[in-house]
């Protein structure tokens, strides 16, 4: 979305309060309830979105009025930021509010400013990136047969993500919508949880041999990482696969790539890749390949049980795998494949799995 369009949407939001005043209404802003009980499956988009339940921020109490005041100051700040083509982090916004003339508008904690920016995203339909709000840390990388053009403040940069980068790969910028894909020889995308496995795939030349674009997830992936993964799927029509450890926290990582998260269900259409397929480590891999394991902790068991209840995991595949894992009471890391030798993952495990999945 252009700066101008994003700015207009923000101003519209402020204008609503004026309209409400004029109609003699108490100013208010309605936002969907952000909880597990209020997400529903959107059949058309194939992603989970918020349902109909909403809560209201209304000026009918001092507390509510103060929230709206903070919202209005933030809208003004964001509108100016877009006007000047600047950007800032969520933390800077929190600190910056200390310089606002109206003390009641200042934030008391960063939680407050973070959640207000989320509210504004949802209500205005403008993404945080289009407000020019940056995350604190991003830091994921990409490597593979892909030529792209990134629009930076210092001009455009054309970068081939194998030939023009070092072994560390191409650093995904905070807002990957500044990237244009120019050309590629890729057959699929593989999003990888850990740095150790990412480096293994690169060292073994997996990206080269299988024409794969390797995206490093770095644990729970940042929005920028999920966004570029989705764009690789949608714009380039590439299958997306996700390769993680074999434990409930890693299934959530897969879930955040494929289904979106509860906290950002309003962004599912922008961030989620529902077609993303899970490679492993599956509990059945632990059994079949006799991988070195660790016992499940109590919190692992709780997380698995909570996933069994989660609508996003209520497929035959996940039910079967999670029940198997609760049964064997074990988990394994992706690097546990090294117990079969350093090349086992690229010579045997991945080719077998990807063939089975119909990707290669």
Q: Using CA of residue 62, residue 64, residue 67, residue 73, what is the dihedral sign?
A: negative
Provide, rounded to whole angstroms, the least separation between the CB of residue 171 and a second copy. 3
Find the binder of a second copy among 87, 112, 114, 115 (CB under 8 A).
Answer: 87
Shortest CB 249 distance to a second copy, Å: 16
For residues 227 and 215, give the distance between their C-alpha atoms in angstroms, rounded to a whole number. Answer: 11
Among residues 45, 56, 195, 235, the one that binds a second copy under rule CB under 8 A: 195
* Alpha-helical runs (H) found in 176-240: 195-203, 206-209, 223-236
Within 6-35, which residues bind a second copy (CB under 8 A)?
none
Least Cα distance to 125 among 272, 6, 257 occurs for 6
Site string for a second copy, 107-136 (x = CB under 8 A): ---------------------------xxx
CA distance 168 to 175: 20
**Preceding omega of 281 cis (within 30 degrees of 0):** yes
Is there a contact between 178 and 138 (Cβ–Cβ < 8 Å)?
no
Closest residue by Cα to residue 198 from 170, 226, 178, 233? 170
Decide whether 24 or 155 has the Cβ nearer to a second copy: 155
Count of beta carbons in the 10 Å neighbourhood of residue 271: 24
Cα distances from 308 to residues 42, 117, 151, 276, in angstroms, run 20, 32, 43, 20
Least distance (Å) from a second copy to the CB of residue 169?
6
Cβ-based nearer residue to a second copy, 194 or 321: 194
Among 4, 60, 61, 171, binds a second copy (CB under 8 A): 171
Binding range to a second copy, per CB under 8 A, among 11-19, 38-46, 151-159, 321-329: 151-159
Query: Which of 6, 71, 172, 190 is the binder for a second copy (CB under 8 A)?
Result: 172
- Given 95, 210, 259, 289, the catalytic residue: 95
Among 168, 234, 299, 356, binds a second copy (CB under 8 A): 168
> Per CB under 8 A, does 89 bind a second copy?
yes
CB-based burial of residue 46 (10 Å sphere; 0-12 exposed, 13-18 middle, 19+ buried)? middle
Looking at the Cβ atoms of 93 and 189, the one nearer to a second copy is 93
Q: How many CB atoms lie within 10 A of CB 219?
A: 15
Integer Cα distance of 29 and 169 in angstroms: 44
Least separation in angstroms between residue 251's CB and a second copy is 20
Pairing of strands 141-143, 170-171: antiparallel
Tell me if 10 sits within 8 A of 75, measured CB to CB.
Answer: yes
What whole-number distance in Å separates Cα of residue 120 and Cα of residue 82?
15
In the list 69, 165, 236, 284, the residue contacting a second copy (rule: CB under 8 A) is: 165
Question: Among the candidate windows 17-25, 201-209, 249-257, 276-284, which touches a second copy by CB under 8 A?
Answer: 201-209
Question: Annotated binding residue at 245?
Answer: yes
Establish whether 180 is an annotated binding residue: no
Q: Which of residues 283-342 bind a second copy (CB under 8 A)?
A: 292, 333, 335-342
Please indicate whether residue 95 is annotated as part of the active site: yes
141 binding a second copy? (CB under 8 A): yes
Helices (H) and strands (E) in the chain, counts: 14, 17
**Contact between 189 and a second copy per CB under 8 A:** no
Smallest gap from Cβ 113 to a second copy, in A, equals 12
Binding residues for a second copy, rule CB under 8 A, total 56
DSSP letter, residue 171: E
The set of catalytic residues is 95
Contact residues for a second copy, defined by CB under 8 A: 86-89, 91-92, 95-96, 98-99, 134-139, 141, 150, 152-154, 157, 159, 162-174, 178, 194-196, 199-200, 203, 205, 208, 218, 292, 333, 335-342
Annotated binding site for Mg(2+): 193, 245
Annotated binding site: 193, 245
């Amino acid at each position: 979305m252009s700066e101008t369009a994003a700015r207009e949407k923000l101003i519209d939001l402020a204008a609503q309060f004026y309209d409400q005043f004029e109609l003699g209404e108490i100013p208010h802003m309605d936002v969907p309830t952000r909880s597990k009980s209020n997400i529903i499956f959107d059949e058309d988009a194939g992603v989970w979105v918020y349902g109909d339940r909403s809560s209201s921020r209304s000026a009918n109490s001092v507390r509510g009025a103060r929230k709206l005041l903070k919202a209005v100051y933030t809208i003004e700040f964001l509108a100016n930021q877009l006007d000047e083509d600047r950007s800032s982090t969520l933390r800077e916004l929190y600190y910056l509010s200390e310089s606002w003339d109206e003390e009641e508008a200042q934030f008391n904690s960063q939680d407050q400013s973070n959640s207000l920016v989320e509210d504004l995203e949802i209500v205005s339909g403008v993404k945080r990136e289009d407000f020019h709000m940056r995350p604190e840390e991003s830091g994921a990388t990409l490597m593979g047969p892909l030529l792209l053009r990134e629009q930076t403040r210092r001009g455009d940069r054309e970068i081939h993500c194998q030939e023009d980068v070092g072994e560390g790969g191409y650093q995904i910028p905070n807002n990957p919508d500044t990237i244009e894909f120019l050309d590629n020889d890729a057959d699929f995308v593989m999003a990888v949880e850990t740095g150790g496995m990412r480096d293994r795939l690169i060292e073994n030349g997996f990206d080269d041999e299988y024409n794969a674009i390797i995206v490093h997830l770095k644990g729970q992936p940042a929005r920028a990482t999920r966004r570029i993964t989705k764009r690789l799927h949608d714009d380039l029509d590439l299958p997306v696969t996700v390769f993680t450890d074999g434990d409930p926290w890693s299934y959530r990582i897969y879930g955040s790539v494929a289904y979106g998260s509860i906290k950002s269900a309003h962004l599912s259409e922008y961030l989620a890749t529902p077609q993303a397929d899970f490679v492993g480590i599956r509990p059945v891999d632990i059994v079949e390949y006799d991988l070195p394991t660790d016992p499940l902790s109590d919190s692992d068991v709780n997380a698995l049980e909570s996933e069994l209840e989660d609508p996003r995991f209520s497929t035959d595949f996940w039910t079967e795998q999670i029940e198997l894992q609760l049964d064997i009471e074990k988990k394994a890391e992706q690097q546990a494949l090294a117990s079969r030798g350093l090349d086992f993952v690229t010579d045997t495990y991945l080719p077998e799995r990807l063939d089975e999945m119909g990707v290669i």
